Structure 1
Amino acid sequence: MYSAYLDRFTDNDKALLLVEKLQKEFHVDINTLPIDSKAGTWFLVEIQGDEITSFQVDEGKTAEMEQEVDDRIQRLKPKKTSRFKRN
């Protein structure tokens, strides 16, 4: 099984999944994804040939990566106190 990231949905009812370990992208029908899938969801997938044959949502990795993004955003937000004097 490989770890895959749901990058985005395209205009032609397809979803773009990125499999980092293989450095490949796969276009799959939106209908084949689990119902609550959204951009940013991580999956465990099985691949045969050039097709993904099964999907399983990786809840742990999805939550972990969402938390990491939230932490980075919090670090980037400006602090309320400034070191500079105002006129």
Structure 2
Amino acid sequence: MDKAVVDRIVDGDKVVLLVGEEEKEMILSLSQLPEDVKEGSWVRVVFNNEEVITIELDNDETNSRKQRIKSKMELLKQRSKKNR
């Protein structure tokens, strides 16, 4: 099972996933993903060669990454205020 992030949704029907630590780009049909997936969502994907077998939303990973980004943004804002 691999982890992937939804990098972007193109034309409302294609999804660009960045898969694994090497962030291999894969383009899938939006209909292959769970309904509540959006840009920035993390998913767990099972492949058989290059074919997708299952995809499930990874809410824990999505929330963890969002919190990490939020914390970093807060640090940058604090540094910006100190440098004025």
Using structure 1 for the length normalisation, give the TM-score: 0.82
Three-state SS of the structure 1 residue aligned to 2:71 is: helix
Map 1:4-83 → 2, pairs under 5 A: 4-11=4-11, 13-21=13-21, 23-77=23-77, 78-79=80-81
Bigger CA radius of gyration: 1
Q: How many residues align?
A: 82
1:33/1:55 contact within 8 Å kept: yes
TM superposition shift of 1:10: 1.3
Q: Identity of counterpart residues, as a percentage?
A: 32
For residues 13 and 83 of structure 1, what CA distance do their matches in structure 2 show?
Answer: 44
1:26/1:51 contact within 8 Å kept: no
Question: Segments of 4+ in structure 1 off by > 4 A?
Answer: none
Higher helix share: 2
Three-state SS of the structure 2 residue aligned to 1:63 is: helix
For residues 52 and 25 of structure 1, what CA distance do their matches in structure 2 show?
Answer: 13
Using structure 2 for the length normalisation, give the TM-score: 0.85
Compared with structure 1, are the counterparts of its residues 12 and 56 closer, same or farther at alpha carbon in structure 2 (3 Å cutoff)? closer
